[in-house]
Amino acid sequence: MRNFFLFISLFFAIFGIQIDVSYAYISIKIIIKVIDETGTPISNADARVSFIQDEQVLIKGKTDSKGIFIAEGRGINVGGVDVNKEGFYDSGSPYQFNKQSTNIYVKEITLTLKKKINPIPMYATDIGYLKIPEFGKPIGFDLEKRDWVAPYGNGIISDFIFIADRHYKDVRNADMSIVLSFSNPKDGILKYSVSSENQSDFIWPFEAPSEGYVDKINKWESIYISKGEEHKTNMDLEKSNYIFRVRTQIDSKGNIISAKYGKIRGEIIASRAGTVNFKYYFNPDGTRNLEFDTKKNLFKFSSKENLEYGVNQP
């Protein structure tokens, strides 16, 4: 949320907030209250409020001893707020006013900051649109190597196993399906839904769940215009996130002795172009910790690679 212009644009897109260009600039008063997860006010937090005019106008300041920051300005009927403080994850929210008969539009917004507990180094990357090397065969993907396993790449451990099927005539007549499965008993993946009330950059539980994993998932898309079939898919690009468990070792009774955990931010995208795309965070330390220290990525990308493959979200 440091990039405020992107922050506001994303919130408007996600929540379907409409900018009413018929508004003349209105007088606005925004009252922010910042609290932690126990409800305790947080003082001295950095706060920003945007007022949208011909361009975005930012009012900045710090919360007082009661966790309050007040900003006044003029703009159209929408804008946004965000707050940050050392030791906490950033939080933010859009605001919107409906037309009303008043001289000043006032809104009170409470923002909750999640305290950082134990951010750790992880292998974190957006793999880009990775070409499936062969269809109809199980192919392993190594999360530490960020590559297919041999003979298709330099990977060693099949953390994920993909089987892809594709039929392709042209871009308007094709289908693609991938099944993601795993190498070990008790390995698996679960879908994680973010609360609609979430305001934080950190959207995850602090620890991966110990139960609830399934041993495979399928993602597909299809379009056949020549048959009158429009685009169909089971992928949810807006709401899907995942937590996974791999490299699981069990005892003779089926109890987990050790495992590695991680998360996928966003959907696992199977493209009829013959590629797969996902953004993952792999914790190699053997704990269920899901807090990523964004300054300690275990992938050592060059500056150019970081622009394409790096991640800056916790």
DSSP letter, residue 26: E
Per-residue pLDDT tens for 208-246? 999 999 999 999 999 999 999 999 999 999 899 999 999
Closest CA to 129 of 20, 254, 279: 279
CATH topology (fold) of 4-113: Immunoglobulin-like (2.60.40)
DSSP letter, residue 265: -
Residue type, 32: I
- CB neighbours of 183 closer than 8 A, spacing ≥ 6? 140, 157, 158, 159, 161, 246, 247
- 133: pLDDT strictly greater than 50: yes
The rounded distance, in Å, linking the Cα atoms of 217 and 4 is: 35
Global pTM value: 0.89
CB 219 within 8 A of CB 269: yes
Residue type, 79: G
Domain boundaries of the chain, sorted by first residue: 4-113, 120-309
DSSP secondary structure letters along 200-260 = BS--S-SB--SS--BSEEEEEEEEEGGGTEEEEES--TTT--EEEEEEEEE-TTS-EEEEE
**Count of CB atoms situated within 10 Å of the CB of 174:** 19
Per-residue pLDDT tens for 37-91? 999 999 999 999 999 888 889 999 999 999 999 999 998 889 999 999 999 999 9
- CB neighbours of 273 closer than 8 A, spacing ≥ 6? 129, 171, 176
